[in-house]
């Protein structure tokens, strides 16, 4: 009778349930931040990290439901998996010099949740050996690939900007500032640039600027459209919310050419 009773999994403690809900809320905040960062631009290509926050909403939503309703036996394993993934993500970001506050908060909560479940568990070694360690190993591969891919995109972008900055102009175009706009089909923000911003720029700056429209899909580094590259190396990923922002940047670039 005692053995049968001990075999029945206990409901996770309130602290663990609160931590799982907190992780869900942090994931929702991360998704909202991603959306705000995309505001003003259409996504062209997304890296693996863009799926982390939506995946967190799904995963922590499921974990919170399991914690409240069951099956409770799965809850410690979910906590171990979450802690392992966050450990790998934060470690990789630190190694590559990329770190965000939301990521650190999520990792802290996930590790705290795992510690709470480890303390209460009668099978601590099993959780570590068969959940935490394998999950960390599985997460390390895609994380390393995603970071390497992002680094390669950044190098291509930097090389393009250097080429633009160092490019030579013909004698008659010495006072002309080149602005390159990468766009894609069915992008409302790209249309807004053509229909709202471009006419105003042409009225204000006339022949002093030259705008070239290029296909974003022909590149490997453009992530959002429109991506606006000013000859001085300034890059806007997405349409600036205020027209005066890009106008001021062009004025500064033209002044620097004198």
pLDDT digits (tens, 9 = 90+) for 26-69: 999 998 887 776 566 777 656 666 778 889 999 999 999 999 99
C-alpha dist (Å) from residue 108 to 85, 203, 231: 12, 53, 42
222 in any annotated domain:
yes
162 in any annotated domain:
no
CATH of the domain at 106: 1.20.1440
Residue where a domain terminates, one of 157, 179, 196: 157
12's enclosing H/E stretch is none
Task: State pLDDT tens for residues 72-109.
Answer: 999 999 999 999 999 999 998 888 777 789 999 999 99
CA 252: distance to chain centroid? 30
- Does the pLDDT value for residue 127 go beyond 50? yes
- In this prediction the pTM is 0.73
Same structural domain for residues 149 and 28?
Answer: yes
Q: Which residue has the higher pLDDT, 98 or 119?
A: 119
Total residues found in the chain within this entry: 258
Same structural domain for residues 89 and 214?
Answer: no
Same structural domain for residues 94 and 64?
Answer: yes
182 in any annotated domain:
yes
145 in any annotated domain:
yes
Task: State pLDDT tens for residues 143-198.
Answer: 888 888 888 888 888 888 888 777 644 444 567 888 999 999 989 999 999 999 99
Same structural domain for residues 21 and 52?
Answer: yes
Could you list the residue range(s) of the whole structural domain that residue 12 is in? 8-157
Return the DSSP state at 11: P
CATH of the domain at 183: 3.40.30.10
- Does the pLDDT value for residue 126 go beyond 70? yes
């Amino acid at each position: 009778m005692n053995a049968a009773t001990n075999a029945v999994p206990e409901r996770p403690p309130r602290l663990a349930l609160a931590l799982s809900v907190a992780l869900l809320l942090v994931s929702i905040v991360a998704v909202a931040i991603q959306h705000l960062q995309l505001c003003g631009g259409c996504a062209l290509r997304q890296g693996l990290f863009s799926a982390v926050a939506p995946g967190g909403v799904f995963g922590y939503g499921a974990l919170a439901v399991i914690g409240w309703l069951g099956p409770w036996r799965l809850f410690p394993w979910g906590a171990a998996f979450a802690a392992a993934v966050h450990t790998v993500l934060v470690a990789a970001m630190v190694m590559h010099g990329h770190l965000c506050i939301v990521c650190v908060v999520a990792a802290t909560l996930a590790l705290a949740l795992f510690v709470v479940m480890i303390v209460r568990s009668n099978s601590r070694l099993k959780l570590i050996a068969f959940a935490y360690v394998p999950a960390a190993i599985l997460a390390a591969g895609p994380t390393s690939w995603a970071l390497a891919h992002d680094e390669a995109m950044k190098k291509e972008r930097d090389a393009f900007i250097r080429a633009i900055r160092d490019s030579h102009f013909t004698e008659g175009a010495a006072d002309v500032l080149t602005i390159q706009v990468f766009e894609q089909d069915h992008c409302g923000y790209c249309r807004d640039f053509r229909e709202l911003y471009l006419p105003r720029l042409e009225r204000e700056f006339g022949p002093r600027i030259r705008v070239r429209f290029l296909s974003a899909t022909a590149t490997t580094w453009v992530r959002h459209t429109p991506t606006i590259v000013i000859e001085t190396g300034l890059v806007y990923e997405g349409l600036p919310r205020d027209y005066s922002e890009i106008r001021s940047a062009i004025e500064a670039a033209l002044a620097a050419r004198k």
